[in-house]
């Protein structure tokens, strides 16, 4: 039943032994040890487990790891620049106080990055729609939306991504 | 450590391989595409299966292809591909809008249009607009191909006409006829990640005078174990011009045909009121759009 597969996470290959029943979120957190991806509801409702698979935000708690063998996965650990400085969207979240307990933040940032990648100039409504599958129980969302707006403005000005 | 019970995993690469597998082990298998329904049901032990057949990466089964007579949408096309399709919006806007109302964006990048109808939930978002747009569901097995209307596909709550060796492979939607328009609407507890209390799609076709109704279709979801196609609304509308009095009657007719239940999402009484409101609103919108089409 167990199989050796290669997962490409944050542009690095990881050989992992999985069963078909293993969920991507568990493999990322337990087998690989990247614990930035959070496991919240486990039902696809809260969005804390969001990762980018081939550029699209997806729920790692509803994804079988074995289905991702030939795909490119980006987790929150893969967002910062290679020299360790933060990605501008991470800076925007810090600058706007868009983080409180932090549990929703990785998923929130990945959903927001995917939004700006597909729609660099979103309206506030489009931002709210894009993060409507990411539940935050601390902030009331206002600072999160402001952070995403400021990142979108930065992308528009400087072409930063 | 596994939450999921044991199953064998199959990842066929072509449609032919999928149909072979279904012929062999279809009675002991579940199909996996987006997984947004299946994986939850496996986790919750609502179902158990010996085999999971992953069809998400079978290229022949996905994509939006325009033809001389309309458009073909592969079963494994994701809801977000439909939502983001600039080509679909103009003529098939009711489906695009319904797609944008399903789950959250993450759910939509995973969930597929074939999965949405095959799951056959009474509250699925896409069956009603597919019906309103006169879509055909293409079902294939090793034995051959057959086609049905979306409204004849779902038999009841999570029940449909698929045999164990069959699968939905695509939807064929004809080019909308002249002076016609379809609309979609849904009401739930919130805008995202909700399960609809009521959803509804309407299609109105006008005569060449762009006033007289030639044909009408109204389909409502989440108000019975399967989508209901109204009989009363077309008989009220055909041959007439829409006016306020008629719109009121459309609402009453739709309400009289809905047989909703009370559950955690809404009471039966509220659902009936919503049916009336949506029927009035969507009929008016479709009529006005058809006058411009």
Residues of A in contact with B110 (CB under 8 A): 58-59, 62-63
Q: Does B40 touch chain A (CB under 8 A)?
A: yes
B109 to A56: CB separation less than 8 angstroms, yes or no? yes
- Is the pLDDT at B1 greater than 80? The verdict is no
List the one residue out of B7, B13, B16 whose CA is nearest residue B50.
B7
Q: Does B56 touch chain A (CB under 8 A)?
A: yes
ipTM given for this complex: 0.96
B106 to A64: CB separation less than 8 angstroms, yes or no? no
Q: How close does chain B come to A52, measured CA to CA in Å?
A: 10
Q: How close does chain B come to A59, measured CA to CA in Å?
A: 6
- Interval B276-289: pLDDT, tens: 999 999 999 999 99
Q: Is the separation of the CB atoms in A19 and A1 below 8 Å?
A: yes
Strands (E), B35-166: 51-54, 64-66, 70-74, 136-141, 144-148, 154-156, 159-160
- Interval B11-59: pLDDT, tens: 999 999 999 999 999 999 999 999 999 999 999 999 999 999 999 999 9
- Which of A19, A45, A58 is opposite residue B110, by nearest beta carbon? A58
Q: How close does chain B come to A149, measured CA to CA in Å?
A: 18
| 3-state SS, residue B225 | coil
The predicted structure's pLDDT at residue B2: 66
- Interval B58-81: pLDDT, tens: 999 999 999 999 999 999 999 999
Chain A to chain B Cβ contacts (< 8 Å):
88
Q: What is the pTM of this model?
A: 0.96
Q: Is the separation of the CB atoms in A102 and A76 below 8 Å?
A: no
DSSP state of B120: T
Residue B138, number of CB atoms within 10 A of its CB: 19
Chain A interface residues (partner B, CB cutoff 8 A): 1, 19-23, 26, 30, 42-45, 47, 50, 56-59, 62-64, 66-67, 111, 114-115, 118, 129-130, 132-134
- Interval B220-246: pLDDT, tens: 999 999 999 999 999 999 999 999 999
Q: What is the mean pLDDT of chain A?
A: 95
């Amino acid at each position: 039943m167990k199989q050796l597969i290669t997962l490409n996470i944050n542009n690095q290959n990881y050989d992992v032994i999985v069963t078909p029943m293993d969920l991507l979120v568990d493999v990322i957190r337990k087998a690989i040890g990247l614990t930035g991806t959070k496991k919240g509801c486990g039902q696809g409702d809260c969005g804390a487990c969001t990762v980018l698979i081939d550029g699209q935000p997806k729920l790692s708690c509803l994804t079988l790891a074995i289905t991702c063998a030939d795909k490119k996965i980006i987790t929150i650990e893969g967002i910062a620049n290679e020299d360790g400085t933060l990605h501008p969207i991470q800076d925007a979240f810090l600058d706007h106080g868009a983080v409180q307990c932090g549990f929703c933040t990785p998923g929130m940032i990945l959903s927001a990055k995917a939004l700006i990648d597909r729609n660099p100039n979103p309206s506030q409504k489009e931002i709210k729609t894009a993060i409507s599958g990411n539940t935050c129980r601390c902030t009331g969302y206002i600072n999160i939306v402001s952070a995403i707006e400021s990142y979108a403005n930065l992308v528009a000005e400087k072409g930063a991504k | 450590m596994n939450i999921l019970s044991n199953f064998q995993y199959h990842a066929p690469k072509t449609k032919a391989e999928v149909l072979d597998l279904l012929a062999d082990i279809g009675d002991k298998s579940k199909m996996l595409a987006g997984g947004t329904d299946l994986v939850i049901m496996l986790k919750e032990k609502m179902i158990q299966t010996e085999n999971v057949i992953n069809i998400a990466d079978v290229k022949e089964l996905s994509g939006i292809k325009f033809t001389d007579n309309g458009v073909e949408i592969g079963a494994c096309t994701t809801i977000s591909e439909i939502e983001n399709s600039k080509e679909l919006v103009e003529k098939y806007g009711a489906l695009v809008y319904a797609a944008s109302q399903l789950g959250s964006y993450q759910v939509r990048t995973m969930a597929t249009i074939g999965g949405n109808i095959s799951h056959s939930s009474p509250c699925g978002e896409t069956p009603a607009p597919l019906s309103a747009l006169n879509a055909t569901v293409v079902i294939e097995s090793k034995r051959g191909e057959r086609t049905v209307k979306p409204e004849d596909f779902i038999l009841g709550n999570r029940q449909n006409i698929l045999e164990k060796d069959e699968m939905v492979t695509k939807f064929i939607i004809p080019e909308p006829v002249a002076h016609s328009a379809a609309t979609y609407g849904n009401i739930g507890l919130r805008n995202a990640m909700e399960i609809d209390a009521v959803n509804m799609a309407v299609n109105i076709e006008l005569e060449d005078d762009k006033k007289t109704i030639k044909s009408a279709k109204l389909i409502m979801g989440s108000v019975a174990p399967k989508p209901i196609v109204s009989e009363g609304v077309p008989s009220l509308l055909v041959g007439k011009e829409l006016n306020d009095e008629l719109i009121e009657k459309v609402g009453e007719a739709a309400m009289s045909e809905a047989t909703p239940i009370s559950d955690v999402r809404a009471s039966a009484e509220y659902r009936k009121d919503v049916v009336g409101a949506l029927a009035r609103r969507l009929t008016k919108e479709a009529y006005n759009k058809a006058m411009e089409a």
